[in-house]
Structure formats: C-alpha cells, structure tokens
C-alpha cells in the first residue's frame, strides 16, 4: 500500500537538500515577524526545568531529562497569511493562539509556511512549482518537508550523528535556529484541512529511522474511489486541478474506483499509532457517508491490533470543518493526554 501511495504522490526530481527542506531552510530575514521579531519554527520560550533548576532527576541522563516532545503543526490552505494566520491568531476562550497554547504546555512546536503558502506563494505556488518540477507533486513536496523536519528533530536530539554535520540530513542551516534538545521518539503531527492531508500521508510514508508517535487530523480527507464526493465537494478535481496537489490523480478522473489507494487503507496503515480523527459531518469538501464507511474500516484496523480503545479517537460532530473554540479544545486535550504525558 505504501508503494502505491508513493507512486501516485511522490515528486520526481525533488532537488537538493535545501530544496527538500523548503520553508524550514528559508531565509527568515525576508519574512514577516513571528514571534518576537522572527519567523520560523516556534519553540517554547520558558526555561526547561526538571526537578529544580534544570537539573536532571536522580539516575536520569541530562539529555533525556531536558529533551522536549515535539509537535509539527501543519496548517490548512493559508495562501495569503502563512501559518501565523492559520494558527497563530486563532483564539480560544481563555487561550492565546494555538501555537503558543501548545508550547505553553511544554511542547516544542515546529511550524512553517509550506509549499506555495504565505511568503512562498510567489516562489513555489502551483505555476512556479510545476515549471521547476513538471513531473512532480506539491503534496509530495509538502510531505517531504515534514520528513525534513523529522531530520531536524533528529539533529537536535541526543541521537544526532555525523549525518547532521555534513548536511546529509538536510541540516546546513539548522544550527542557526538554536533549538532546545528534542526527543525524536516523541514526535507528533497535528494538521487541519490540507495540513491533515499532509500529516496522514507523511506518517504513512515516514522513514523507519524517523518514527512518528501520533497524528491528529482535523478534516482534510474524503474517500477517493467513490469520486471524492463528486460535484458537491469538488471530487478528485480538488486534488489534481483546483489546488494542483496531486496531478497524477487526474488520470483517474473518469474511473475513480481505480485509484491505487484510498484513505481507509492509508489511515489503516498507521495502526496502532496514536491517532485522532476529527471528521465533522458538515465538511463541505467531504462526503459524510463515505467518511463514515472509511472510519469503520479504520476502526477494524486498530481493533486487529487490540489498540482501538487506547490509541484511536474519532470525533464526527455535526459541524462545518473549521478550527475554532471546540476544535482547539479537542486539540489541546489530545496534546495534554498524548504528547505531554
């Protein structure tokens, strides 16, 4: 199944390491501020503490005691605002933006403008991207950036090796980010809309050496073999034409039932990973009945591992797809239970 996903999604001619790490390696001097005069990965600003003043508890190594769990925060379509507009300014009843709310809970948050979004819209938006990579896929490039972020986490962890010094791990510009020690065994993805699509694919295709501990996906998907919901949702055309994410899916426009993989298989391949699926019935880009059928198949995948009750959490509210108070509350609760603990 992973091979089939890669055949449809994977970009051809992905470029050098700097190309692959994209927004993570961008020259931040030319970008709007975020926060404190600088844009780029957002990490907690408060000091790390363990026991008293940052000392490791008895019997524990300093590296293990000070390593932070990591959340890669993947926004939805944010062409004009970039990720701060997608997440940074979302307000919940008593919290600031979602970025800061998660970081305040003791989690290192990595966020960036993905391919074609924010300050990168005029660099690798669809027309520019496909001039450079005519056989490529913007979704593949977005997934590749997540995998580059996993390399970044590795290189900021106690397990960092020689590959982090010679650029082999997409690392030439990372030292300037001054990241705290990160725990590469506790890396989670949280995505909304397009970000959820990217998160699910990135987790399914993650290298074995860079495991992902869990995924929270808010909206972002509908089964493809039934036509993606047809005219009511935009169908497969949303993916291959409207947002030009996976051009190769256009080959299946007249026979969607022949698409090589579908979301029940993609998501099912993640079992028994910790997974939150937030699939509102009012998502205008999804067919609620098709999603419900896929979720039954996903439940069976987790049940086969004996992990359904522990690791799989599904919400299907009667609501539109959005990231407001209720969704932020669910996200923060998941972060506190799965990422922080």
Q: How far apart are CA 164 and CA 157, in angstroms?
A: 10
In angstroms, rounded to a whole number, what is the distance separating the alpha carbons of residues 179 and 173?
A: 12
What is the distance in angstroms between the CA of the first residue and the CA of the last residue of the chain? 32
φ/ψ of 109, rounded to 5, equals -105, 125
The pLDDT assigned to 112 comes to: 84
Which residue has better confidence, 81 or 22? 81
Q: What pLDDT shows up at residue 237?
A: 86
pLDDT at residue number 43: 40
Residue spans of beta strands (DSSP E) within the chain: 68-74, 108-110, 182-192, 214-218, 274-278, 312-315
Two tokens, residue 11: 């970009």
Max avg pLDDT among 15-24, 144-153, 208-217: 208-217
Q: Does the domain made of 20-27+67-340 have the CATH classification 3.40.50.620?
A: no
**Quick one: which of 245, 260, 267 has its CA closest to 8?**
260
- Give pTM, 2 decimals: 0.81
pLDDT digits (tens, 9 = 90+) for 69-88: 999 999 888 777 777 666 65
Average pLDDT over residues 8-27: 44
- 166 or 23: which leads in pLDDT: 166
pLDDT, position 309 = 63
> What mean pLDDT do residues 195-223 have?
94
Residue % of the chain over a pLDDT of 90: 35
Mean pLDDT over 176-189 rounds to: 82
Q: What is the pLDDT of residue 320?
A: 85
Query: Domain spans of the chain?
Result: 20-27+67-340
pLDDT tens-place string over residues 113-159: 888 887 777 777 777 888 888 888 999 999 999 998 898 888 888 88
Residues 6 or more apart in contact with residue 192 via CB below 8 angstroms: 74, 75, 76, 86, 87, 218, 219, 220, 323, 327
Residues 6 or more apart whose CB falls under 8 angstroms from that of 257 comprise 225, 226
In this predicted structure, the answer to whether residue 18 has a pLDDT above a threshold of 60 is no
173-179 average pLDDT score: 54
Residue 38, pLDDT above cutoff 60: no
Band of residue 39 on the pLDDT scale cut at 50, 70, 90: very low
Instruction: Evaluate if residue 30 carries a pLDDT over 50.
Output: no
Residue 184 phi, psi dihedral angles, 5° rounding: -70, -10
**3-class SS of residue 299:** helix
More confident residue, 251 or 96: 251
* CA 201, chain centre distance (Å): 9
For residues 107 and 340, the answer to whether their CB atoms sit within 8 Å is yes
pLDDT of residue 259: 93
Band of residue 197 on the pLDDT scale cut at 50, 70, 90? very high
CA distances from 137 to 148, 184, 201, 220, 279 (A): 16, 27, 13, 17, 25
């Amino acid at each position: 199944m992973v091979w089939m996903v890669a055949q449809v999604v994977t970009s051809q001619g992905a470029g050098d390491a700097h190309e692959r790490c994209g927004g993570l390696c961008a020259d931040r001097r030319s970008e709007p501020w975020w926060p404190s005069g600088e844009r780029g990965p957002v990490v907690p600003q408060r000091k790390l503490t363990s026991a008293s003043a940052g000392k490791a508890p008895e019997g524990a190594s300093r590296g293990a005691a000070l390593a932070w769990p990591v959340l890669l925060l993947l926004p939805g379509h944010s062409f004009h605002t970039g990720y701060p507009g997608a997440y940074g300014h979302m307000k919940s009843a008593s919290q600031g933006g979602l970025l800061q709310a998660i970081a305040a809970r003791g989690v290192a948050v990595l966020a960036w403008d993905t391919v074609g979004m924010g300050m990168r819209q005029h660099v690798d938006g669809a027309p520019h991207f496909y001039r450079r990579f005519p056989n490529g896929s913007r979704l593949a490039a977005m997934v590749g950036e997540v995998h580059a972020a996993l390399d970044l986490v590795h290189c900021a962890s106690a397990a960092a090796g020689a590959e982090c010094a010679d650029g082999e791990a997409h690392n030439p510009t990372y030292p300037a980010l001054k990241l705290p020690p990160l725990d590469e065994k506790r890396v989670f993805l949280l995505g909304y809309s397009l970000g959820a699509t990217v998160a699910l694919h990135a987790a399914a295709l993650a290298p074995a050496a860079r495991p992902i501990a869990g995924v929270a996906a808010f909206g972002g998907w509908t089964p493809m073999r039934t036509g993606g919901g047809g005219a009511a949702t935009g169908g497969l055309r949303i993916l291959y034409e409207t947002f030009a994410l996976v051009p190769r899916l256009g080959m299946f426009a007249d026979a969607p039932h022949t698409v090589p993989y579908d979301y029940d298989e993609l998501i099912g391949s993640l079992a028994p990973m910790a997974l939150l699926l937030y699939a509102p019935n009012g998502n205008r880009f999804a067919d609620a009945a098709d999603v419900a059928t896929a979720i039954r198949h996903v439940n069976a995948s987790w049940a086969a591992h004996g992990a359904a009750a522990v690791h799989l959490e599904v919400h299907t509210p009667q609501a539109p797809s959005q990231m407001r108070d209720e969704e932020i509350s669910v996200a923060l609760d998941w972060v506190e239970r799965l990422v922080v603990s």
